[in-house]
Amino acid sequence: MTEQILTPEPSAPTAPPVPEAAAGTVAGTTAGAAAEATATPESVPAPESVPESASAPKKSRRVLWGVVRWTAAVLVCGGVGAGTAMGLTAMERTDVPGLATESDGRWDYPELALPALPADAPRPWTDGNEGEIHHADLRKLLLPAPAGATVDPKSNGGWAGLDSYLALLPEKDRGEVERYVADSALRHVTARGWTTPDGTTTRVHLLRFASVAFAEDFKDVTMEKVSKSSGLPLGVEEAEIDTSVGKIDVPYLSLYGYAEAEPYGPEQTRWAYIQAGDTLGVVTQTRKGGTPTVPFQQTVALQAQLLG
């Protein structure tokens, strides 16, 4: 993802327009006052009892006062409108009543960045890297925990043994996987686990093989087992395809998502395989009552982007 991996902020709302009726009243009154101000003394007949020279100054003062009064009113209205617009523009969207953006369920991950490569080391899909090898430190390609999560101290992003991955599987399936991996040039395993306040437990494993051929072969064997309802995560009896993972588009990667089919027990499990060159990523989430779709899709997408 580093490409930081998230979306533009919505533009601030603008102030509501002045109602047409009010605008017309102010405009009409101002126009009337202006017309009255431009009228010459000759157009206003003076009473016969008052000399023309005495009535003109009083009339001028009255007209001038009217113009000043309406000009002040217009300036006050304009100032209030401008102040409202400026206030709304300066406020965050969530501070404006009725415009708060509800959370869509995504977790708050820290800013992500791709680690630096060793000198002269190519990226996995560049010319000359036929094995599609990740030369960066595998631990730094592992997704960090989101804000507010409790990290598993036994699985905190360091190097992990194969047993860490085998613990995801039922005991009856572990021996076969262990024997296969022993012959498939597995080089490194790293893992991180955490639990969020909503009770979702997440485990992310990265398995790096000697080349893309070994990683792809291990993925194919694993997928074949899943299709036959074997080699499923611990506690899962039957799986179905998770279509939310199919919406993730990262070049050069292959993604496969699954969810525990109903009826399931007290917990539901979702998991995904991310095959990226010489590395296979496995994301597993479990939650009592059912695993939510949005954070699962988000977690898989971010881990895929780090590997891509």
pLDDT at 173: 92
**Mean pLDDT for all residues in the chain:** 77
State the average pLDDT over residues 26-54. 41
Kindly state the DSSP code that residue 128 receives in the 8-state scheme: T
Quick: pLDDT tens for 285-303. 999 999 999 999 999 999 9
Quick: pLDDT tens for 80-127. 444 433 333 333 434 344 444 456 899 999 999 999 999 989 999 999
Please state, in angstroms and rounded to a whole number, the distance separating the CA atoms of residues 29 and 301.
Answer: 62
Q: Which CATH architecture has domain 138-307?
A: 3-Layer(aba) Sandwich (3.40)
Rounded to 10 deg, the angle between the 212-227 and 171-182 helix axes is 160
pLDDT at 185: 86
- The model's confidence at residue 73, banded by pLDDT at 50, 70 and 90, is very low
State the amino acid at position 103 in one-letter form.
Answer: S
Instruction: Decide which of 186 and 42 is more confident.
Output: 186
pLDDT at 183: 84
State the average pLDDT over residues 31-52. 42
pLDDT at 18: 39
Quick: pLDDT tens for 256-287. 999 999 999 999 999 999 999 999 999 999 99
Please state, in angstroms and rounded to a whole number, the distance separating the CA atoms of residues 259 and 242.
Answer: 6
- The model's confidence at residue 35, banded by pLDDT at 50, 70 and 90, is very low
Instruction: Decide which of 253 and 13 is more confident.
Output: 253
Quick: pLDDT tens for 121-154. 999 999 989 999 999 999 999 999 999 999 999 9
Q: Is the pTM value of this prediction over 0.75?
A: no
Nearest to 260 by CA among 245, 241, 239: 239
CA angle, residues 131, 302, 206, in degrees to nearest 5: 45
Quick: pLDDT tens for 171-229. 999 999 999 888 888 999 999 999 999 999 999 999 999 999 999 999 999 999 998 88
State the amino acid at position 132 in one-letter form.
Answer: E
What residue segments make up the domains of the chain, in order of their start? 20-95, 138-307
Please state, in angstroms and rounded to a whole number, the distance separating the CA atoms of residues 158 and 142.
Answer: 9
Instruction: Decide which of 54 and 194 is more confident.
Output: 194
Nearest to 11 by CA among 80, 101, 78: 101
Nearest to 301 by CA among 287, 283, 286: 283
Nearest to 147 by CA among 111, 108, 113: 108
